[in-house]
Chains A and B, each alone.
Chain A
Amino acid sequence: MKEENYYQQLKGIVQPYLPEDVSVEDISPDSHFINELNINSANLVDIVLDVEDAFEITLENEDMDQMQTVNDAMVIINKKRSSK
């Protein structure tokens, strides 16, 4: 249940960065941020900062490198939250 909440929260974070021709319904756990959701790579930096603020966690450099898909982000968020 908690995980589902995190997922919805993450979708809300990603939504403003989606280009006009991609809608929030297009987001699935497997979605690749840059290749599938067409998010500007520069904005991925902002998504990371928003995730940090929303979940009160800090992402390391390697976390940011690994965060390619929505699922990657979920794994990192769950790991960081559970170790808090």
Chain B
Amino acid sequence: MQDRVVVTGLGICAPNGVTLDDFTNSLKEGSSGISFQQQLRDLNFGCQVAGVPNIKSEYINNYFTSLQLRGLNASGLVYGVIAGTDAWTDAGLTKAREDEPDWDSGVIFGTGILGVDKFRESIHLVDAGNTRRLGSTSVIQTMASGISAYLGGILGSGNQVTTNSSACTTGTEGVIMAYDRIRSGKAKRILTGSCSDSGPYVWGGFDAMRILPRKYNDTPSTASRPLSASASGFVPGSGAGALVLESLTSAKQRGAKIYAEVLGGAVNSGGQRGGGSMTAPNSISVQRCIKMALKNSEIESKDIEAINGHLTATGKDPVEVRNWSLALQRSGLDFPYINSFKGIMGHGLAAAGSMECVGTVLQFKEEQIFGNVNIDDLHPEIEKLVDKSRIPVKTINFRPNTIAKASFGFGDVNACVIFSNFKD
């Protein structure tokens, strides 16, 4: 009998809150984490609003040693270490002893690109013929696996320590990778999550692709409009989310609190065929991914009571809703509740999946479905598929049993995970 897998810890460093309490309140109240960015205006960006975690410099001292702080210039790494260590503490776990790692605990913590500002600093030194002045940390701050390496070292993890990368799917994929590893008996606990840097060097390419909104620079909180007819692009974001996944046996032995169970999940790719491309999803592949996640979780379509979508606030939102509707064979009043947190926090890119998984799991604890924001004008194509009552614009009291969370990313990659209210 394979062990069940549960969520025993959560950590967050998001544009709308860097503690679980603040993050939860923001999602409940729909208070925006998106703000105007002077730097983007100075650099002539079309989109000058973004979601950036608000961290005070003294707050960082709680997470890094003074030595680690020297020359630290990697925002994603900072977000990831905050969220990751907070999740570990929230799970009631401690760091490994000084002389021996914790062989049963691992880290699967993803990112898209890490330490972009540090890399820029290094490029300037190298180009000036001054490579010898790079110092010892330019590598560890800019290698993709820098984030799992930092967390693994802080916690003393002796199991697998790695970084996955699958664009905006990264965080949700990590939850499924952690689930698989625990399920197969290779680890008792995995700290999983993802992080993404802030700043113009990460977001510039998206601005150049003209897929960020340009009309809301004076009204940042209304810029991100998932599911609405007026959605005109995603608001760039950043941050990190983290979850401790643990075997039920281990969680029970420790007497740990259990937020939810991970019933299963699926990842796949559309192969950039059949309508899919580097930047657009193959719809058949998305539907297969959702159906595979149900099958892997041994549940039926009717069991899904809520969906936390990818729903970025581009013109593709109606396509995503149609894919959910076709995959689940449900529509109108029969459609599950559906929400997107991107209206509040923007699109955290590689961090999106993990931050949204944290928010999704919090809905079990709060016994609520958090409301969508900025849908004054529900997209007519979506309204044809889903009854308006299933798209809450205010947080509603509802005790969900099962929630599906999906993320889709550049490269035509998909991930869908199924969380459920834990019942012994």
Contacts and interface: CB of A to CB of B under 8 A. Distances in A.
B135 interface: yes
Interface stretch (A4-12, A27-35, A43-51, A68-76): A43-51
Contacts of B71: 46
Contacts of B137: 46
A1 interface: no
Interface string B70-97: 1100000000000000000000000000
A70 B66 CA distance: 22
Interface residues of A, number: 7
A49 B135 CA distance: 7
B133 A46 contact: no
- Most chain A CB within a 10 A radius of its CB, from B66, B70, B136, B137: B136
A45 B131 CA distance: 12
Contacts of B67: 16-17, 43
B66 A46 contact: no
Chain B contact residues: over half helix, strand or loop, or mixed?
loop
Contacts, number: 16
A45 B70 contact: no
Contacts of A17: 67
Contacts of A49: 133, 135
A43 B66 contact: no
A42 B70 CA distance: 14
A46 B72 CA distance: 13
A42 B136 contact: yes
A45 B136 CA distance: 6
Interface string B196-207: 000000000000
A6 B71 CA distance: 24
Contacts of B135: 45-46, 49
A43 B66 CA distance: 13
B234 to A, nearest CB: 39
A19 to B, nearest CB: 9
Contacts of B70: 16, 46
Contacts of A42: 136
Interface of B: 66-67, 70-71, 133, 135-137
16 contacts: A16-B66, A16-B67, A16-B70, A17-B67, A42-B136, A43-B67, A43-B136, A45-B135, A45-B136, A46-B70, A46-B71, A46-B135, A46-B136, A46-B137, A49-B133, A49-B135
Q: Which 6 A-B pairs have the closest CB atoms?
A: A42-B136, A45-B136, A46-B136, A46-B135, A16-B67, A16-B66
Interface of A: 16-17, 42-43, 45-46, 49
